[in-house]
Chain A
Amino acid sequence: MFKEGMLALVGQGFIETIYMTVISTVLAYVIGLPLGLILVVTDKDGIHPISWLNKLLGLIVNFFRSVPFLILLIALMPFTKAIVGTVIGSKAAIVGLWVAATPFVARMVESSLKEVEVGVIEAAQSMGASPFQIMTKVLLPEAKPSLLVGAAISITTILGYSAMAGIVGAGGLGAIAINYGYYRGQNDIMYVMVVLLAIIVLVFQELGMRISKHTDRRL
């Protein structure tokens, strides 16, 4: 079933998938984490309400979240080309993944931060903490376990997106599954890819959960 060189191909696909997923997750957090923080802080019940900014950012996030991923990827092609000079391959896929994942990450971060008890924030305020100190010393550290769980969910979701990006020419395991399994009818290869992707999802998921549990002091 596996032809010569297939193993090398799968190996490369594996590396490409991990590369795309990890890089775009990191990039998504670079923007998504501050964005989620701003969404929480500027909320009408937040520590520094700014209604117009909150509404504007919420609108942008919702807009990008509502566009189906593949369509977003295609729509972004001119932008992608401008940034990385090409619209195919892993590098190009990262741009699309980044744009698609950022609003998702922002919402994950937002929901984690909202779990921090209002009372704890008020206690900090009663001690004279500034909004910035509350962000860095209360919101983020107190929400850390939940943020880590959110990161595990985000990375597995982005992994799923990366497999889909295979349709429009990204590399990785998803591309192999589509090219060999779908276009050439080699079902066995497709199933191998599906299993591999599932294993990666499980590993990321489990790892995230464990780190979160391990660092959570609430027992």
Chain B
Amino acid sequence: MDDHILEAHELEEGEALIPQADWFNRSETLQKLRKNKKFPTIWCSGCGIGVVMGALIRAIDHLGLSNDEVALVSGIGCTARMPVYMDFNTLHTTHGRALAFATGLKIARPDLKVIAIMGDGDALAIGGNHFIHAARRNLGITALVVNNAIYGMTGGQYSPTTPIGKRATTAPYGNIEPPFPICELAIAAGATYVARSTVYHALELDKFLAEAIAKDGFSVVEAVSYCHTTYGRLNRLGTAADMMRALKDNTIAQSAYERLAPEEQAANAKIVRGKFLDVERPQYTAAYAHLITRVQGGQP
């Protein structure tokens, strides 16, 4: 634990993380969990999704948002079960449609912090169209994509982020489809905040999530995770702890990546972590509010 906290500090140089001591000990943080909901979670023990839930709670808490100011919307999948455990306004929808439901909710209540929580299949296969269009509109929603490169809930079929060559229950000879790079896709589609970290780098996730939620625009945080029970087993990647360690070993902070020589960058096979975009563009609900004022003022 300590080791990975240090690691996160070390790698994301020059950027202050949310001070750690604060979150873990604050009872407010625990109050974001649902007391009347029966725990434990449905997740396999050792799954990375719980780390993302922790990061999300700490980020919301850090921003000082009350439980009523936040709405969590999710699709279907292991990841999408996350909202039920947290004491916000929570909407667990249909597979792939979280952002479409969230669109209506955000437009109806622009003051709510709407966070869409999706798996990689949820966000990019069945929900791919909604993802690019929500980004294009720059609707003020945070899209939190937990990328475990597999369909966890249905038992390990290949997803749009499964790397080439990896096995899945529906890719018994190895996957031949190139994966989507989530962050690059989000940037191309029009998101205004885009960052990636991993469940190993939990503190970095906290920070990115806090920034993304604070952002008045379509913000995307890709949380790279793992599914040891399906993907891990099929590809002989060891235990949950082994896969967690692999996230440490096989990722590189953007700051470190930028210091590499061009030929080293070209040869880099590690996942780059960092904040890739943070720009300002008119946010959809603000633009619509402006439109209403214009129309009601009698201007064409």
Q: Do A and B come from one complex?
A: no
Q: Which residues of B contact A (CB under 8 A)?
A: none
Q: Which residues of A contact B (CB under 8 A)?
A: none
